[in-house]
Amino acid sequence: MGSPEFAVPSLRALAARHEVALVVSQPDKPAGRGGKLAAPAVKQAALELGLPVIQPRSARTGELQGALAGTGAELAVVVAYGKILPPAVLEALPRGCLNVHGSILPRYRGAAPVQWAVIHGEAETGVTIMQLDEGMDTGPTLLERRVAVDPDETAGELLARLGPIGAEALLAAIDSLAAGTLRPAPQDHARATHAPMLTKADGAIDFAQPAAAVAARIRGVDPWPGAYAELRGQPVKLFRARAEPAGAGAGAAGAPGARVAIDAAGARVACGEGTVVIRELQAAGRKRLTAAQFAAGRGISAGDVLAKPAAVGP
């Protein structure tokens, strides 16, 4: 069971090593400006592999439970499926449900663990294989893989890197389960932190924050919902940011949000503490450009202020 691109490496790894009786994904959803229905990445991969797919609208109607039980499979695997599973589904197969989660549990339980790890400036994260229970990522952990987070890495890039790591860990956990050597470990719930689903509002950038927090948020909301601010009353998207401490770089002083310099490194913007260097910007309806290109087209000028949007769309 899974939906986004993060789950595809696990599906392909399972199909190469084990018999996959059924793939479960979320329903097709409108995408792009035209709003045409698009299949989830997991469904697309399953069809390429010649595997049967179902897309129930709810996990609670009995359809999913019946479909799983009817496969005769021993084990279910869940990777970013996007739905809370009721006890009847969790218990539909003899060995229950294993989950590939994109953090080192109990930190960052929830829908967006990778994104919030980047937003919070974590130096390390990883993947946990856990046994699903009725809670939100509260079940016993079985195996983990830790990785360092690159200082310039976006959430999208980290997700793409963790997908294959999760697939490898999943196969190792299944091998240990079959051998009887897997030892579930209860989570320390007192140490739990949460990673709720991102909203459009999470992409609004407030330059009154310290530069390190601003840069981390710009990377953490890339690719969705994307970082944005207001420039001359119009929205502008921000990409590829890194922080400089107070006193570093050209023109590091200035009111938060003031564009203090444009050079080969990018647009230097004063924050509450320090300066953030933004390498790429994009005006509404225009192409994404380097800061130098954006300035050459008069998209930004000396003295302009990048402000936190006064109103945030849905």
- pLDDT the model gives residue 302: 73
Final residue of a domain: which of 191, 219, 242?
Answer: 191
Q: Domain for residue 314, yes or no?
A: no
CATH number of the structural domain spanning residue 181: 3.40.50.170
Same-domain status, 112 and 140:
yes
Same-domain status, 84 and 114:
yes
Strands (E), the chain: 23-24, 29-31, 36-38, 53-54, 76-78, 97-101, 124-131, 141-148, 227-231, 234-244, 259-263, 266-270, 275-283, 289-290, 306-307
- pLDDT the model gives residue 32: 77
Final residue of a domain: which of 191, 223, 244?
Answer: 191
> Mapping DSSP to helix (H, G, I), strand (E, B) and coil, where does residue 187 land?
coil
Same-domain status, 217 and 269:
yes
The per-residue pLDDT string of the chain (314 residues; one tens digit each, 9 = 90 and over) reads 999 999 999 999 999 999 999 999 999 999 877 788 999 999 999 999 999 999 999 999 999 999 999 999 999 999 999 888 999 999 999 999 999 999 999 999 999 999 999 999 999 999 999 999 999 999 999 999 999 999 999 999 999 999 999 999 999 999 999 999 999 999 999 999 999 999 999 999 999 999 999 999 999 999 999 999 999 899 999 999 999 876 655 444 567 777 778 888 899 999 999 999 999 999 999 999 999 999 998 888 777 889 888 766 54
Provide the residue range defining the domain that includes 43. 5-191
Same-domain status, 211 and 182:
no
Q: Domain for residue 27, yes or no?
A: yes
Q: Rounded CA gap, 155 and 119, in Å? A: 8
Q: How many CB atoms lie within 10 A of CB 107?
A: 20
Same-domain status, 187 and 205:
no
Q: Domain for residue 106, yes or no?
A: yes
Same-domain status, 53 and 92:
yes
Rg (CA), the chain: 22
Q: Domain for residue 222, yes or no?
A: yes
Its pTM stands at 0.93
How many domains is the chain partitioned into structurally?
A: 2
Final residue of a domain: which of 191, 225, 255?
Answer: 191
Q: Domain for residue 312, yes or no?
A: no
CATH number of the structural domain spanning residue 276: 3.10.25.10
> Mapping DSSP to helix (H, G, I), strand (E, B) and coil, where does residue 201 land?
helix
Helix 155-179 vs helix 8-17: angle between axes, to the nearest 10 degrees? 30
- pLDDT the model gives residue 35: 82
Contacts of 62 (CB under 8 A, 6+ apart): 88
Same-domain status, 96 and 207:
no
Q: Domain for residue 123, yes or no?
A: yes
Same-domain status, 216 and 169:
no
Same-domain status, 76 and 145:
yes
Same-domain status, 270 and 163:
no
- pLDDT the model gives residue 298: 84
- pLDDT the model gives residue 251: 44
**At 132, phi and psi to the nearest 5?**
-70, 140
Same-domain status, 153 and 228:
no
